[in-house]
Amino acid sequence: MPRNIRELSIEDHDHIKLLCETIWNGNDYVPAIFPKWIEDPLARNLGLFESEELVAFGIIEKIADADIAWVQGLRVKEGHREKGHATTVTSALIDVAKELKIKHLWYATSSRNAASMKVAVNCGFHEADRTGYFRIYKPFPAHPRPSLSIVPLSVTPERLYELLLANPDVVESSTFPLAWHFDFKTKEGLTRLLQDSIVKVVVDESGKIRGLYCQIERAAFTAFATAAFTVFATDRAVFVDIMSRMIDQAETAGADRAVFFLGPRVTEWAFDLGYVADEFVDRKFLLYEHNPT
* Tens digit of each residue's pLDDT (9 = 90 or more) over 206-223: 999 999 999 986 555 456
| Entry pTM | 0.92
- Quote the pLDDT of residue 86: 97
Give yes or no: residues 78 and 7 share one domain. yes
Residues 186 and 275 in one domain: yes
In a domain, residue 127? The reply is no
> pLDDT tens digits for 53-92?
999 999 999 999 999 999 999 999 999 999 999 999 999 9
Domain count for the chain:
2
pLDDT digits (tens, 9 = 90+) for 32-58: 999 999 999 999 999 999 999 999 999
Per-residue burial over 165-188, b = 16 or more CB atoms within 10 Å of its CB, e = otherwise: eebeebbebebbbbbbbbbbbeee
Are 63 and 151 part of one and the same domain? no
C-alpha distances (whole Å) from 161 to each of 20, 175, 184, 242, 251 are 39, 12, 11, 20, 29
- 158 and 42 in a single domain? The answer is no
Residue 161 included in any domain:
yes
Expressed as residue numbers, the domain containing 173 is 133-288
Rounded Cα gap, residues 146 and 163, in angstroms = 23
Q: Are 262 and 270 in contact (CB under 8 A)?
A: yes
pLDDT on residue 222: 56
CA distance 63 to 79: 33
Decide: 217 and 226 in contact? Cβ < 8 Å: yes
Please say if the pLDDT value at position 263 is more than 80. yes
Look at residues 52, 87, 102 and tell me which one is the last residue of a structural domain: 102
Gyration radius of the chain over CA positions = 20
**Distances in whole angstroms, Cα of residue 241 to Cα of each of 149, 217, 244, 272, 276:** 10, 21, 5, 13, 16
Spatial separation of the C-alpha atoms in residues 248 and 243, rounded to whole Å: 9
Crossing angle for the helix pair 157-166 and 187-194, to the nearest 10 degrees: 140
Q: Residue 25's pLDDT is what?
A: 86
CA distances (Å), origin 261, targets 49, 116, 121:
36, 19, 23
pLDDT at 218: 58
Domain annotation covers residue 108: no
| pLDDT tens per residue, range 227-245 | 999 999 999 999 999 999 9
Task: Give residue-wise pLDDT tens across range 98-148.
Answer: 999 999 999 999 999 999 999 999 999 999 999 999 999 999 999 999 999
Residue 166 and residue 76 share a domain: no
Comparing 19-28, 62-71, 112-121, 158-167, the range with the smallest average pLDDT is 19-28
